[in-house]
Amino acid sequence: MNEAQILQIAVAIIINSQNKMLVVQKQSSTYYQLPGGKIEVDEEAIDALCRELKEELNLPLVKEQLNLLGIHEAKAVNEIGKTVRGYVFKVDISETQQDLKPHAELKEVHWLAKEEIADFKLANLLKEFALPHWLQKQN
């Protein structure tokens, strides 16, 4: 695949104390996706994720809260003809960090319950990688 068609992103799987997964919706999108964003040139994925979560959710993190689960490529939902290469991290947050509000380009922040999955239009990376990981952990 042409590397110019690949968007490098760093995203977070965040599960709260009620076993709900954090999903966000950008102002310009009808899809819900994992929080995070594009990795800048010469930026490490973990640093990009920390920066994005601070900008979009006002969620300051330390690297010890992040654990890389894997890298997954999926068809981009917001940019036609592009593929996202997602560096997917499990992010552990404290109960006091769970009251999150949208900032920057985010329109909505939602804690997704397992029963709600069918009611939401989910981005491919979330459906293909994060959901199976989360649901497997619930069994």
Tell me the pLDDT tens digit for each residue of 25-48. 999 999 999 999 999 999 999 999
**pLDDT exceeds cutoff 90 at 1:** no
Residue 3: the pLDDT is: 73
Task: Write down the pTM of the prediction.
Answer: 0.93
pLDDT band at 137 (very low <50, low <70, confident <90, very high): confident
Q: Sorting pLDDT into bands at 50, 70 and 90, what band is 113?
A: very high
Going along the chain from its start, the domains and CATH numbers come out as 3-138 (3.90.79.10)
Nearest to 13 by CA among 119, 103, 96, 127: 127
